[in-house]
């Protein structure tokens, strides 16, 4: 899995980048994630929750995208990963459900 972190308006420390990677890698046990992109920005229009985290996960046959605001970048990333975890569980459970069978009587 490749993990890319983009932060055009923020200086992200190496320690924080590794923490983000660790959280994203923890999602991989829920489903096959081929690529993750994390975007960290600042939204100056918001007074309190101005830090924004957008995460895009590419999984086979689908793409999951979450956009979350927070007081700090850490809070925004944690909230986004929590939502992605729930979405990834739902997506993999839905795919593993048996399909309805059509039975025709002759």
Alpha-carbon distances, residue 43 vs 34, 47, 48, 66, 77 (angstroms): 29, 9, 10, 16, 15
Using a CB cutoff of 8 Å and minimum separation of 24, what contacts does 5-10 make?
A: 5/38, 5/40, 6/37, 6/38, 6/39, 6/40, 7/39, 7/40, 7/41, 8/41, 9/40, 9/41, 9/42, 10/40, 10/41, 10/42, 10/51, 10/73
* pLDDT tens digits for range 47-103: 777 899 999 999 888 899 999 999 999 999 999 999 999 999 888 777 665 555 666
Predicted TM-score of the model (pTM)? 0.83
Residue 31: pLDDT band with limits 50, 70, 90: confident
């Amino acid at each position: 899995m490749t993990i890319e972190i983009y932060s055009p308006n923020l200086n992200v420390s190496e320690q924080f980048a590794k923490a983000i990677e660790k959280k994203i890698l923890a999602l991989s046990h829920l489903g096959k994630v081929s690529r993750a992109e994390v975007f960290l920005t600042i939204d100056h229009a918001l007074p309190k929750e101005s830090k924004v985290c957008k995460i895009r996960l590419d999984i086979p046959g689908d793409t999951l995208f979450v956009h979350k605001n927070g007081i700090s970048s850490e809070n925004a990333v944690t909230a986004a990963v929590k939502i992605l975890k729930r979405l990834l569980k739902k997506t993999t459970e839905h795919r593993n459900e048996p399909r309805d069978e059509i039975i025709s009587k002759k």
